[in-house]
Amino acid sequence: MILTDFAKALGQMPDPRFRRVLWLGIGLTIALLVAIYAGVLLLIDVAASGPLTLPWIGEVTWIGDLLGWGSLGLMLVLSVFLMIPVASAITSFFLDDVADAVEAKHYPALPPAPRTSLADALRDTFSFLGLMLIANLLAFVAYAMFPPFAPLIFYAMNGFLLGREYFQVAAMRREGRAGAKALRRKHSTTIWIAGVLMALPLSIPLLNLFVPILGAATFTHLYHRLNSRPGAAARTASG
């Protein structure tokens, strides 16, 4: 069933609304990383504005250049690891558009879902960004401690995070925040498995940039499938 949801999402990838969200996410991510690097260079310039005098060496004037080139190398390395969580978080700001496109094509009988407010969208985006960054940075410690299990840790952790976020986005549009959380807890295992499926392309360059779009579309299908079960339908009707 999860693979069916994924296949439906994959089949809709040429949708212009999907492509718009993809390019917005990538463009804003690159702009953010450039802005962060510009801030790092500014701090280096302020810190190394004057010559440094070292014992037995004398005055050193090339510290700023060394730090500048070192920061460039560090930023390039970090970008490889941070591009995906940052892109995922930023793209999540626009995932309502992906869910709207999915529902318009596959669930046309549904009334339009209320749009997420700007305040809620910003709060959820920055919350997800912080959670993704902290989790992935902490994961480096686990990778170093348990190298043979690094791939399992990577997919299990990111699968949990992606499943949690994308299902919340899909369900909250129809259920509200509290209803989405309750539904997520009820189907936590299914959501985690679907999240792991979304995490598998994360290790494939270029393909990983499509993960937020595929995730939002897949979990929109997953939400409607879970919510179409008799028990879920009765719960929604009673609400």
Q: Give pLDDT, residue 232.
A: 47
For 53-71, what is each residue's pLDDT tens digit? Answer: 545 544 545 444 545 555 5
The percent of residues above 70 in pLDDT, for the chain, comes to 69
Q: Give pLDDT, residue 60.
A: 45
Q: What are phi and psi of 206, to 5 degrees?
A: 75, -50
Does the structure show a pLDDT above 80 at 185?
yes
Task: Share the mean pLDDT of the chain.
Answer: 76
Q: Give pLDDT, residue 97.
A: 86
Task: Let me know: does 138 contact 131? Beta carbons within 8 Å.
Answer: no
Buried b (16+ CB within 10 A) or exposed e, 167-194: bbbbbbbbbeeebbbebbeebeebbbeb
Does the structure show a pLDDT above 90 at 193?
yes
Q: Give pLDDT, residue 62.
A: 45
Q: Give pLDDT, residue 221.
A: 94
Give 45's pLDDT tier (boundaries 50, 70, 90): low
For 112-126, what is each residue's pLDDT tens digit? Answer: 888 777 777 777 777
Rounded to 5°, angle at Cα 186 from 127 and 181: 30
Does the structure show a pLDDT above 90 at 166?
no
When pLDDT is averaged across residues 88-99 and rounded to a whole number, the result is 74
In 3-state terms, what secondary structure has residue 60? strand
* Residue 131 or residue 160, greater confidence: 160
| CA-based nearest residue to 81, from 214, 203, 197, 182 | 203
| CA-based nearest residue to 215, from 123, 60, 105, 95 | 95
Q: Give pLDDT, residue 37.
A: 66
pTM: 0.71
Does the structure show a pLDDT above 80 at 17?
yes
Does the structure show a pLDDT above 90 at 169?
no
Q: Which two tokens stand for residue 175?
A: 């259920």
| CA-based nearest residue to 228, from 166, 174, 164 | 174
Q: Give pLDDT, residue 234.
A: 39
Q: Give pLDDT, residue 218.
A: 92
From CA 100, how far away is CA 113, in angstroms rounded? 8
3-state helix, strand, coil in the chain (%, to 5): 85, 5, 15
